[in-house]
């Protein structure tokens, strides 16, 4: 019969002791992986669009809208920051000839990078011809995607997606 020795004079290390330690080690690994999987699946759906097929069908219309937007030659000045009331967004639209583009319906949507539940939208108010302002209340510092859309009479005339870092 073989005897086992310990260096500190404690309990001997047997095959059962090694088995228990290995089972405990792998149980911890599986538990941590389970927690990671739970949070990974629960926080980010992994979807950019709800239907890839539908987005593919609309691609040609999006390209044509982008060409029409470029042909207008508008100058768009955007400023966005974090104030006491929330995210403050100001936009100025100027025509190719330098005249303000008045009478637009302008929306600004702040998209959270990982959670669609964190997305917020506001319709900007026209404060003077061609100038639009709005505040999205409750926004905190962090990275967002700002989607700016301008329409007139139901026709989309301008759209842009801008990476934005909100900071105090």
Give domain limits for the chain: 11-44, 73-166
Bridge partners of 107, per DSSP, are 123, 149
Classify domain 73-166 by CATH number.
2.60.40.10
In angstroms, the CA 87 to CA 72 distance is 29
Contacting residues for 77 by C-beta, under 8 A, at least 6 apart = 91, 92, 94
In this predicted structure, the answer to whether residue 76 has a pLDDT above a threshold of 60 is yes
Q: Confirm if 148 and 162 have CB atoms less than 8 A apart.
A: yes
Buried b or exposed e, range 93-130, using 16+ CB within 10 angstroms? bbeeeeeebeebbbbbbbbbeeeeeeebebebebeeeb
Rounded CA gap, 42 and 63, in Å?
A: 34
pTM of this structure: 0.67
Q: What percent of the chain has pLDDT over 90?
A: 51
**Residue 84, H or E segment:** none
Average pLDDT over every residue of 93-119: 88
- Give the residues across from 161 on adjacent strands: 147
Given this model, what pLDDT does residue 85 score? 83
- Quick one: tokens of 111? 């998209």
pLDDT classification of 39: cutoffs 50, 70, 90: confident
Higher pLDDT, 109 or 112: 109
pLDDT band at 42 (very low <50, low <70, confident <90, very high): confident
Q: Is the pLDDT of residue 1 over 60?
A: no
Number of CB atoms found within 10 A of residue 153's CB: 8
User: For 4-8, which contacts have Cβ atoms below 8 Å and span 24 or more sequence positions?
Assistant: none
Over 70: is that where the pLDDT of 4 sits? no
The pLDDT, as a whole number, for residue 167 is 79
Per-residue pLDDT band at 57 (split at 50, 70, 90): confident
Q: Which of 130, 137, 165, 163 is nearest to 148 (CA)?
A: 163
Q: What is the pLDDT of residue 34?
A: 96
135 in Cβ contact with 122 (< 8 Å):
yes
- Name the average pLDDT for the chain: 87
Q: How confident is the model at residue 138 (pLDDT cuts 50, 70, 90)?
A: confident
């Amino acid at each position: 019969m073989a005897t086992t020795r310990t260096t500190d004079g404690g309990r001997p290390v047997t095959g059962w002791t090694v088995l228990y330690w290995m089972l405990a080690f792998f149980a911890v690994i599986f538990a941590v992986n389970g927690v990671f999987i739970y949070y990974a699946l629960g926080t980010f759906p992994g979807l950019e669009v709800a239907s890839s097929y539908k987005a593919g069908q609309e691609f040609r219309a999006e390209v044509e809208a982008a060409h029409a937007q470029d042909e207008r030659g508008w100058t768009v000045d955007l400023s966005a920051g974090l104030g006491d009331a929330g995210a403050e967004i100001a936009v100025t639209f100027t025509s190719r000839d330098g005249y303000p583009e008045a009478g637009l319906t302008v929306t600004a949507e702040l998209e959270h990078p990982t959670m669609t539940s964190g997305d917020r939208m506001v319709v900007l108010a026209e404060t003077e011809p061609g100038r639009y302002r709005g505040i999205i209340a409750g926004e905190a510092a962090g990275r967002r995607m700002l989607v700016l859309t301008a329409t007139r009479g139901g026709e989309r005339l301008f759209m842009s997606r801008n990476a934005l870092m909100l900071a105090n």
